[in-house]
Structure 1
Amino acid sequence: MKRHQYRITVEPMESTGSAPLSFEVNSYDDILMIIDRIRLRKDIAPGSAEALGLGLKLFGNELLQQKNNPLFAPLFPCFHEFMKLLKESQP
C-alpha cells in the first residue's frame, strides 16, 4: 500500500518569539483528498475542512500508535463512532 509523506508547518502570523514548528508524517491515506471530500459537506462550515481533516488524520494516526496506552483508552470508542458517522453520512 502506498504511503503518503507530508511536512506539516505551523507558523505564528505575528511575531511571538516562538520559532515555527515543522515535522514530517506518513499516512496511508491521502490527507489532501480527505480534506477535499470534507469541503464538499454542507454540514461543515466553509474554511473548517482543512483543520478538521488534518486534525482528525493526525490525531487518528497518533491514537493508533498509542493503542496500548491506558490514557487513550476512553477515546477509542468515541473516535471510532465519530469517524464511522463522518464516513457513512453524505456530504
Structure 2
Amino acid sequence: MKQHQYQITVKHVADAQGNPSAYTEELQFNAYNHDDMFKVLEHLTKAQLFDDEKTKAFAVGLKLFGETLLENKDHPLFKDFMPHFGQFMKTLKQTVKAQNAAQDEQ
C-alpha cells in the first residue's frame, strides 16, 4: 500500500506547573499513513469541532493511532477495540460531513 510519509517532532516546552521543560532533546520519528493528514486536518478544521490547537492535536493523534491499529488489527491488544474504532470513525466522518455541509450553506 502506498503511504504518505511524515516526520513527527515533539518538544516538551513546559511541565504541568508551567515551568520551562528540563528536557533539551526533541522526540522525532517518521510515521506513515494511508491518508493525507493535511487534508484530514483541513476537513476537521472546517467542521469546527474544536479550537485550532485541539483540532491539530486530534487529527495527528487520531491518524497516528488509527494507522497503528490498522497495521496491527490482529494483535491481541487491539482485537476487541477494532469494531469500536470502526464505529467511531464512521460517526466522525458523518459528523464532519454534516458540519462541513452546514458551513457551506452559510
Check whether TM > 0.5.
Answer: yes
Aligned to 2:23: 17
Aligned to 2:51: 46
Q: Deviation at 1:19?
A: 2.2
TM-score by length of 2: 0.75
Count residues with an aligned counterpart.
90
Q: Deviation at 1:80?
A: 0.5
1:3 paired with 2:8, answer: no
Deviations 1:11-55 (A, max 9, x none): 01133236210000122211011011101113x121221111111
Distance 2:45 2:76 in 1: 34
Any unmatched runs of 5+ in structure 1? Answer: none
SS of the equivalent of 1:40 reads helix
- How do 1:1-91 and structure 2 match up within 5 A? 2-13=2-13, 14-17=20-23, 19-42=25-48, 44-47=49-52, 48-89=54-95, 90-91=98-99
**Contact (CA 8 Å) 2:12, 2:23: kept in 1 or not?**
no
Distance 1:21 1:65 in 2: 22
Larger Cα Rg: Structure 1 or Structure 2? Answer: 2
Distance 1:82 1:25 in 2: 22
TM-score by length of 1: 0.86
SS of the equivalent of 2:47 reads coil
* AA matched with 1:4: H
Any unmatched runs of 5+ in structure 2? Answer: 14-19, 100-106
* AA matched with 1:52: F
Identity percentage of aligned residues? 37
SS of the equivalent of 2:31 reads strand
Distance 1:18 1:66 in 2: 33
